[in-house]
Amino acid sequence: MFRAAVTRRLQQSALLLRFQSTLVIAEHANDTLAPITLNTITAAKRLGGEVSCLIAGTKCDKVAQDLCKVAGVAKVLVAEHDAYKGLLPEELTPLILATQKQFNYTHICAGASAFGKNLLPRVAAKLDVAPISDIIAVKSPDTFVRTIYAGNALCTVKCDEKVKVFSVRGTSFEAAATSGGSAGSEKASPPAPVGISEWLDQKLTKSDRPELTGAKVVVSGGRGLKSGENFKLLYDLADQLHAAVGASRAAVDAGFVPNDMQVGQTGKIVAPELYIAVGISGAIQHLAGMKDSKTIVAINKDPEAPIFQVADYGIVADLFKVVPEMTELLKKK
Ligand code: FAD
């Protein structure tokens, strides 16, 4: 009798998994896929059901072809229209709702980047469900894990909504393989443009350095740098290490660097192979954005600075002496 009950329970869960279907909203720049989409696909695969991706844009053939090859993606839906320029939530939301109406997904998700954070609350509101932001693990199709208190506590969330809408922390899921898949692509039918907002232009910071959230090495500076000009020390070091440059909120608030460089609870979440924190005290809100880095090096003149509690290597020294020395040594290599 016990065996029969267990078999029945297993059959029920297998049936439940078969009925899961997830829509991943792809973040892209027409010809390149944002890496966080691959992490989001991995999270979607953990739910157990079929994974489809929706690409909205103007000329997204290349991204559609790339997505079809991603392992574990069953279907790629492509919606092309001038209204999707700039991926505005006002225009993407009706498209997602129409796609949802057609295919009845149990889950809708995107990366927890500015794109996903901008879009998903609107989608969830229109579906009249509560969204879950920034998940770091999937326990079952209706149970997710996220962090609270600046990353210092884990919170398991059970979601009973008819459609589960959630954003995915990229650094918590490995990227799905970009080969091995053979998804079919089909055209989605875009609803009429809403026309309440229009994408005009974007001015992107041009940099030869890698993008902060995807970089293998990150050098970050804090209030200890004392000025924006002094960040040159970090740029020189970063160039030797092919690193991205980040900053603490204090450095951003003081106007040393722009806010797209901020790492932390209210900035970007990074988990590089190597994180070098320079003149950063190590407040919990900063740690929330970088403590999953594989190796952490801290340079701080205060031996009591909390950053040393999470650092694998600590240098108690004046950054204005140590950083140029490091750069010179790397140049000689
Ligand atoms: P400080 O705490 O002032 O530290 C500067 C450090 O530099 C000190 O440890 C000092 O010893 C060292 N130093 C000074 N001179 C030198 C020198 N010559 N050589 C070596 N070391 C030197 N912070 C973030 O970073 N990211 C966030 O996303 C974020 N979000 C927040 C959200 C909320 C709701 C709140 C309340 C706060 C948030 N903060 C965030 C702010 C956070 O609490 C800290 O105030 C901030 O991280 C401090 O930045 P800091 O380490 O650069 O500055």
Block mean pLDDT (10 aa), the chain, length 333: 60 60 95 94 96 96 96 97 95 97 97 95 98 96 91 92 96 95 92 92 82 93 98 97 98 96 94 97 96 96 98 98 98 88
The pLDDT score that the predictor gives to residue 150 is 80
> Which of 225, 231, 280, 325 is the best mutation target for the ligand 1 pocket, counting ligand atoms within 8 Å of the beta carbon and taking the most?
280
The pLDDT score that the predictor gives to residue 158 is 97
The pLDDT score that the predictor gives to residue 11 is 58
Distance 295 CA to ligand 1 centre (A): 20
Distance 135 CA to ligand 1 centre (A): 26
Instruction: State if residue 314 touches ligand 1 by the CB under 6 angstroms criterion.
Output: no
Instruction: State if residue 268 touches ligand 1 by the CB under 6 angstroms criterion.
Output: no
Instruction: State if residue 264 touches ligand 1 by the CB under 6 angstroms criterion.
Output: yes
The neighbour count for residue 77, using CB atoms within 10 Å, is 22
Bridge partner list, 186: 77
The pLDDT score that the predictor gives to residue 315 is 98
Who's near 315: CB < 8 A, 6+ residues apart? 297, 298, 299, 300, 322
Cα Rg of the chain, angstroms: 22
Query: Which ligand 1 atom sits closest to the C-alpha of 279?
Result: 7
Atom 11 of ligand 1, residue of closest alpha carbon: 302
Instruction: State if residue 82 touches ligand 1 by the CB under 6 angstroms criterion.
Output: no
pTM of the model: 0.84
Compute the distance between CA of residue 167 and CA of residue 24 in angstroms, rounded to an integer.
Answer: 10
Instruction: State if residue 280 touches ligand 1 by the CB under 6 angstroms criterion.
Output: yes
The pLDDT score that the predictor gives to residue 30 is 85
Instruction: State if residue 291 touches ligand 1 by the CB under 6 angstroms criterion.
Output: no
Handedness of CA 56, 60, 65, 71 (dihedral sign): negative
Instruction: State if residue 262 touches ligand 1 by the CB under 6 angstroms criterion.
Output: yes
